[in-house]
Structure 1
Amino acid sequence: MSEHTIKATGRSVEGKGASRRLRREGAIPAIIYGGNAEPQLVQLDQEKIWLAQQNEWFYSSILNLEVDGKAESVILRDIQRHPYKQVIMHLDFQRIDQNQALRTEVPLHFINEEISPAGKSAEVIVMKELNQVEVSCLPKDLPENIVVDLANLELGDIIHLSQLQLPEGVEIPALALGPDQDIAVVVARKGRTGGGAEDEEGSEDAEGESAGE
């Protein structure tokens, strides 16, 4: 697990008016909660966090959040963006207990589709039904992503949640709820080829109607 550090400063003033002022000054209002400590109001640099949030690790990694020089292990729980401006409105961070399992979403990385039998066939559509999955693990075992190798994928194949290769210490909680939760992650199905006789007849009919007009 890679370590990513972001910096923040404490703030004492809260409320909508104070938050608006922070945003005008290029800062993001945020809160840290959880653990054995009281919730803490902080602010972060808008420009630096806007760049950081373009990376997967910002959403799926344990972050080393330095508040006025004091570091805490946290995970992002919520991000609020402006509906049309490139502005982050608010962030929620949760403190992490290194000895307690956490549940969070982890992105899926699909590899080798282009060399698979399904990927090489123009008649096969590879449907990716999920792009992330919820996992449970200790913070030290949290992966930044889970790799799904499609090298052997063929027409008609289905890869289910239970077939994902998980790192040691990582589980998918949904699978404990029963077989109906073992949903498809990837499906390789036959696509439409088009250009058949019906298409040609339809084209001829359309041309005839156009000529009649």
Structure 2
Amino acid sequence: MSNENQLSVEKRVRVGKGPVRDVRAEGFVPGIYYDAKGENIPVKVREVPLTKLYEKVGKAHVFTLKIESEGQITEKPVFIWQISRHAYKKQIMHVDFYGVDLNKPIRVMVPVNVTGKAPGLILGGVVQIFRDKIELECLPLEIPETVTVDVSSMNINDTVHISSLPLPQGVKAVYGDDNFAVVGVVPPASETEAEAATGEAAPAAGA
């Protein structure tokens, strides 16, 4: 995966509530670039290109931030850490860019995508995604777009746990001792409800 996406921003000289209001009045979104080394750079960016980039890369994919200051441009590999929006408008109020070292692994949340048709569906089963996102650890430029789970061979009560997810080389799931289920084919709702009702109606021991 190449770092082909780019976003141009300008360094902000003035900071504080007043200057931030002025930045927004000029049609910019105020933001901050920061990294693990402690570097912090106040920036401003046009909302339209920021919105388009965010729709493309989300919060889990690295791109090049081009910071202009006094006629000089510095390029930083980053991902979007946080976007704050207006309470009731679509307007973006603030953005945080987090700088990464391309040679050091990072942890990010990546969405789960299901493909295929499970045989269990023929018997009335339902494909259920227990975790729509999972945490992965890998180098910044190796982050996959999604984690794809093929359910083509799954019958009712079959599950795919995080330890058995198909992941690209160099990418690993983060889960500790909890080998939780990510996707499963569950019985029809009517059967599940009937079992629950039977369990609730069961007499107490010694009755």
Query: Shorter-chain TM-score category?
Result: 0.7 to 0.9
| SS of residue in 1 equivalent to 2:75 | strand
> How has the CA–CA distance of structure 1 residues 158 and 24 changed in structure 2, closer, same or farther, with 3 Å as cutoff?
same
CA deviation map 1:105-125 (0-9, x unaligned): 11222112xx2213445x222
How much does 1:28 deviate? 0.9
| Distance (whole Å) between structure 2 residues aligned to residue 125 and residue 71 of structure 1 | 47
Name the counterpart of 1:33: 34
How much does 1:103 deviate? 1.0
Name the counterpart of 1:78: 82
TM-score, L = length of structure 1: 0.80
Name the counterpart of 1:58: 58
| Distance (whole Å) between structure 2 residues aligned to residue 157 and residue 20 of structure 1 | 54
Query: Is 1:185 equivalent to 2:182 in the alignment?
Result: yes
1:91 to 82, 88, 95: 95
Note the residue ranges of structure 2 that are not aligned, 5 or more in a row. 192-207
Name the counterpart of 1:148: 149
> How has the CA–CA distance of structure 1 residues 119 and 15 changed in structure 2, closer, same or farther, with 3 Å as cutoff?
farther
1:116 to 94, 110, 118: 118
Q: How does 1:196-211 map to 2 (within 5 A)?
A: none
User: Which of the two has greater helix per residue?
Assistant: 1
Larger-gyration structure (1/2): 1
Give % identity. Answer: 29
Amino acid at match of 1:184: A
Note the residue ranges of structure 1 that are not aligned, 5 or more in a row. 195-213
| Distance (whole Å) between structure 2 residues aligned to residue 101 and residue 124 of structure 1 | 39
| SS of residue in 1 equivalent to 2:59 | helix
How much does 1:58 deviate? 2.7
Query: Is 1:107 equivalent to 2:100 in the alignment?
Result: no
Aligned length: 186
CA deviation map 1:74-119 (0-9, x unaligned): 122111112221111111111111221111111222112xx22134
- CA-atom RMSD, angstroms? 1.9
| Distance (whole Å) between structure 2 residues aligned to residue 120 and residue 77 of structure 1 | 42
How much does 1:137 deviate? 1.1
CA deviation map 1:38-83 (0-9, x unaligned): 200111111221232223x232111111112321101221111122
Contact 2:107 2:135 (C-alpha < 8 Å) held by counterparts: yes
| Distance (whole Å) between structure 1 residues aligned to residue 149 and residue 89 of structure 2 | 34
Amino acid at match of 2:64: N
